[in-house]
Amino acid sequence: MGYNVLPVGLLLVGAYLVWTLVLSRQVLKNGNGVSIATTQINFEDIGGQSVAKKELQEALDFLRYSDRMKALGIRPLKGILLSGPTGTGKTLLAKAAAKYTDSAFLSVSGSEFVEMYAGVGAERVRGLFRRAREMVRKEKKTSAIIFIDEMDILGAKRGSNVSHHEYDQTLNQLLVEMDGLKAEQGAHILVMAATNRLEALDDALLRPGRFDRQVKVDLPDKEGRVAILKIHTKNKPLAKEVNLEEIAHETFGFSGAHLESVTNEAAIFALREESNEINEHHLHEAVEKVMLGEKLDRKPSIEELRRVAIHESGHAMLAEKVRPNSVAQISIRSRGNALGYVRHYPKDDLYLYTQAMLEDQIMVALAGALAEEVILGTKSTGAMGDYEQALNLVEKLLLAGMSSLGVVDVSLLSAEQRQPVTSAILTGLEERTMEIIKENTKVLLRLAEILADEETLTGDTLRICIEDVA
């Protein structure tokens, strides 16, 4: 019709963007994403982190006894950084810190600060600290704790996000706010943050005067796992024969979150059986579910079932040969992505491995496929995961200088340099594994036969079978 609609369209788009920005700032004003709570969690309610709790309590005493610290001329702490794997209790420790110091508690995720609009993240940071001071006055307290979860999102190294500078502006504002924290302002504000990617944080955050203390919150050891299990079974009816130390022994590498899931799944299994108590087998099955996933209805053919039985029997038999009494259970019931599995007892909470230990683990990983080859004449694709595990263990040997290459920078080696060494290690261990399997073929066949009928064998039954046939 000869009418130019472009100016009207641009005006509408501009109005939409302005309205969206206004809404975003209104959300900021209303404090969306910030959780304010009166926490009732004490340090006694957190198990398995005795070292982290002690270190954190010592740091928090600067806040509790501020007058004494001031008399000694000690500068108050501004920030405490909790780092460690997921599920280890970092958020619980922050809540317990608020209870320990009788502080107002504000919790927010690092992702809440990042917006596509310039300046919104920085304004959110200013608003967060402003709100903390208001809470102190409103609740008539002397201090507040701001807890920022997923700190690696907000505090990533500047320049790492090349798309725009909003991340950097937000981080800069946090640094400015932390530099401006002074007890003389009428309210002592302590910033606590949690991350499982410490290496991703900007160096400016980690210098003294910002995050003055770094507390490592690691996976619990055996004693810690027992303490966590006791906490999570307080409200659950356990049978008298349940041995939590044995469950803790089986769950090496589990975090507190994993252990809570184990106790919860065990209670669900008891409910399914209409049992009034949680028995030991409920907890063992819960450990398997958390490790491997739920049982599947998938049923292999008879030929596949025999192959899986031979494969898992190979793993189990060799594990018992290189490390006696190490197998907890062997099963050919499908769970998760596995058609079968062998569950091992960890000998102890080990943090160092010798060359012999790593080689034994590689041999156990190779034994399934080699058992198939000896008994059935061919291997199968069921060994792909085993080979991946074996290659990862070989990589550890290279990194630790336990190969013919000696101590080298593995990252500088080409594929042509690495492959012959890797092949030589695997070939030598395959020969040793094949020799053990051929010497124990009768044991292997008997185990596979029983396993094909029973589907599941305990470690004790497995060892009795090996002794009887041998």
Q: 136, 152, 140, 160: which is closest to 83 by C-alpha?
A: 152
- In terms of phi and psi (left: phi > 0; alpha: psi -120 to 50; beta: otherwise), the region of 299 is beta
CATH number of this structure's domain 225-292: 1.10.8.60
CATH superfamily of 31-216: P-loop containing nucleotide triphosphate hydrolases (3.40.50.300)
Instruction: Estimate the share of the chain in helix, then strand, then coil, as percent rounded to the nearest 5.
Output: 60, 10, 30
Active site annotation includes 312: yes
CA–CA gap between residue 83 and residue 287 (Å, rounded)? 26
The amino acid occupying position 87 is G
Does domain 302-469 fall under CATH 3.40.50.2000? My reply is no
Q: What pLDDT was estimated at residue 26?
A: 42
Low-confidence residues of the chain: pLDDT under 70:
1-39, 114-119, 159-167, 182-186, 297-298, 336, 346-350, 470
Give the pLDDT confidence score for residue 430 in this predicted structure.
96
| pLDDT digits 0-9 by tens, 276-310 | 999 999 998 899 888 878 777 667 788 889 999 99
d(CA 273, CA 393): 41
pLDDT at 47: 86
* pLDDT computed for residue 182 by the predictor: 66
Domain boundaries, the chain: 31-216, 225-292, 302-469
Give the pair of three-digit tokens for residue 319.
Answer: 């594990």
Question: Alpha-carbon distance 292 to 269, whole Å?
Answer: 16
pLDDT tens digits, 151-191: 988 888 876 655 556 667 888 888 888 887 765 556 788 89
Say which amino acid occupies 401: G
302-469 and 225-292 share a CATH fold: no
* Per-residue H/E/C for 166-232: HHHHHHHHHHHHHHCCCHHHCCEEEEEEEECCHHHECHHHHCCCCCCEEEECCCCCHHHHHHHHHHH
Active-site pick, 312, 359, 373, 430? 312
* pLDDT given for residue 226 in this prediction: 93
Q: So what's the pLDDT on residue 459?
A: 86
d(C-alpha 201, C-alpha 210), whole Å: 13
pLDDT for the residue 365? 95
pLDDT at 348: 61
pTM score above 0.85: no
d(CA 19, CA 243) in angstroms, rounded, equals: 61
pLDDT for the residue numbered 231: 92
